[in-house]
């Protein structure tokens, strides 16, 4: 299939999927996210030779939100190693919403079940090293700038401040983790790092490039440079399958069959091993917090191009 044909197909599928944007709602618990137009839907695909295919709103900036949890995990694993990280956060799906607090207390030891739920990602943020929050954040920004080829990747201050002001539940999770000994440093600083990394701004095309690095086992196909070890890419892709779409991960694995991570700003990063990275932006969310049209589009795309890995 040539690029023109593939782009036409992509646009056709995007149009078909965009008919369901009306069934979702933009996230409003972070007030700044509620300003987004719910009708948008964009998709970019990055191929192993770096070619990009696009349809719809692919240059519209949005915040990574939970997609950033993959990259904070990569930094934490690179800095601390497998044993240290997984002594403090588990490897199991929860079946609960991403911001749930319930299993933190009922399961012993009181460590978060996985790094893709908020509690787990806050624990991971606590493991990122640096002499202050800015330096810890820069580790992540540097890696994302390298992987997207965009030296201007930055935090959206309005979204960051909006989340910081309204994050009572995440604060509760963090203080519980402090009490359990999972978090050892300054809690407010770690929360600040977490809010900022969730508010890093990207486009669907940039997310497609990030997905392609994972698809290529940690190598940036555009530069040929290894960004992180293949073993870490393997761990991330496995988490994407088991926990990447929150408590809809099982359904998504059956219906779409592609490792993916979503965020409440409406982004989804999908990664088809060795074949492509996919970035989707569609801010209207379903009741579990996944982009409603984005999930539909990935399902159509997976069927049409036979992308499922199972």
Residue 281 pairs in a beta bridge with: 42, 267
CB of 182 to ligand GLN, least distance (A): 17
Q: Does residue 66 belong to the site contacting ligand GLN (CB under 6 A)?
A: yes
Which of helix, strand or coil describes residue 220?
coil
How many residues touch ligand GLN under the rule CB under 6 A: the total is: 11
State the catalytic residue, choosing from 264, 272, 280, 292.
264
Binding mask 83-122 for ligand GLN (x = CB under 6 A): ---------------xx------------------x----
Active-site residue flag, 264 = yes
CB of 132 to ligand GLN, least distance (A): 21
Nearest to 190 by CA among 72, 77, 109: 72
Residues of span 196-215 touching ligand GLN by CB under 6 A: 198
Active-site residue flag, 69 = yes
Of 174 and 227, nearer to ligand GLN (C-beta) is 174
State the catalytic residue, choosing from 18, 66, 68, 262.
66
**Residue of 259, 289, 292, 300 interacting with ligand GLN (CB under 6 A):** 289
**What are φ and ψ of residue 286, in 5° steps?**
-85, -175
CA distances from residue 286 to 13, 101, 263 in whole angstroms, order as listed: 19, 21, 12
CA distances from residue 263 to 5, 51, 67, 69, 256 in whole angstroms, order as listed: 30, 25, 5, 9, 17
Q: Does residue 290 belong to the site contacting ligand GLN (CB under 6 A)?
A: no
CA dist 244 and 45 (Å) reads: 19
Task: Consult the annotation and say whether 66 binds a ligand.
Answer: yes
List the alpha helices (DSSP H) in the chain.
3-18, 68-88, 102-106, 118-125, 133-148, 157-165, 168-179, 187-198, 204-215, 230-243, 249-255, 292-305
Task: Consult the annotation and say whether 247 binds a ligand.
Answer: no
Task: Consult the annotation and say whether 199 binds a ligand.
Answer: no
CB of 76 to ligand GLN, least distance (A): 17
Omega prior to 250 cis, within 30 of 0: no
Task: Consult the annotation and say whether 29 binds a ligand.
Answer: no
State the catalytic residue, choosing from 69, 164, 237, 296.
69
Task: Consult the annotation and say whether 99 binds a ligand.
Answer: no
CA dist 220 and 208 (Å) reads: 12
Binding mask 146-165 for ligand GLN (x = CB under 6 A): -----------------x--
What's 132's DSSP letter?
A: S
3-state SS record for 233-271: HHHHHHHHHHHCCHHHHHHHHHHCCCCEEECCCCEEEEE
**Residue of 65, 190, 203, 291 interacting with ligand GLN (CB under 6 A):** 65
Residues of span 227-286 touching ligand GLN by CB under 6 A: 263-264
Binding region for substrate: 66, 118, 163, 170, 194, 246, 264
The catalytic residue positions are 66, 69, 194, 246, 264
Binding site for ligand GLN (CB under 6 A): 65-66, 98-99, 118, 163, 170, 198, 263-264, 289
Binding region: 66, 118, 163, 170, 194, 246, 264
């Amino acid at each position: 299939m040539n690029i023109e044909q593939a782009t036409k197909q992509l646009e056709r599928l995007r149009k078909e999927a965009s008919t369901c944007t009306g069934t979702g709602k933009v996230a409003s618990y972070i007030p700044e996210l509620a300003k987004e137009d719910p009708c948008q839907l964009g998709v970019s695909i990055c191929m192993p030779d770096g070619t990009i295919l696009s349809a719809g709103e692919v240059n519209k900036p949005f915040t990574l939100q939970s997609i950033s949890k993959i990259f904070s995990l990569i930094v934490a694993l690179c800095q601390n190693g497998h044993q240290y990280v997984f002594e403090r956060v588990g490897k199991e799906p929860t079946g609960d919403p991403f911001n749930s607090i319930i299993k933190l207390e009922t399961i012993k030891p009181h460590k978060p079940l996985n790094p893709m739920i908020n509690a787990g990602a806050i624990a991971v943020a606590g493991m990122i090293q640096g002499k202050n929050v800015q330096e810890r954040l820069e580790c992540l920004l540097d890696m994302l700038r390298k992987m997207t080829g965009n030296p201007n990747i930055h935090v959206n201050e309005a979204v960051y401040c909006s989340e910081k002001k309204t994050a009572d539940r995440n604060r509760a999770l963090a203080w519980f983790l402090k009490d359990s000994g999972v978090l050892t440093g300054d809690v407010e600083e770690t929360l600040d790092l977490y809010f900022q990394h969730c508010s890093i701004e990207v486009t669907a095309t940039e997310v497609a490039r990030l997905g392609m690095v994972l698809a290529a086992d940690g190598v940036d196909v555009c530069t040929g440079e290894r960004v992180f070890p293949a073993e870490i890419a393997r761990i991330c892709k496995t988490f994407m399958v088991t926990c990447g779409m929150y408590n809809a991960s099982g359904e998504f694995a059956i219906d779409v069959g592609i490792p993916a991570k979503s965020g409440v700003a409406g982004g989804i990063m999908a990664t088809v091993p060795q074949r492509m990275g996919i970035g989707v932006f569609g801010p209207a969310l379903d009741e579990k917090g996944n982009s409603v049209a984005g999930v539909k589009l990935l399902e159509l795309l997976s069927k049409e191009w036979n992308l499922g890995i199972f």
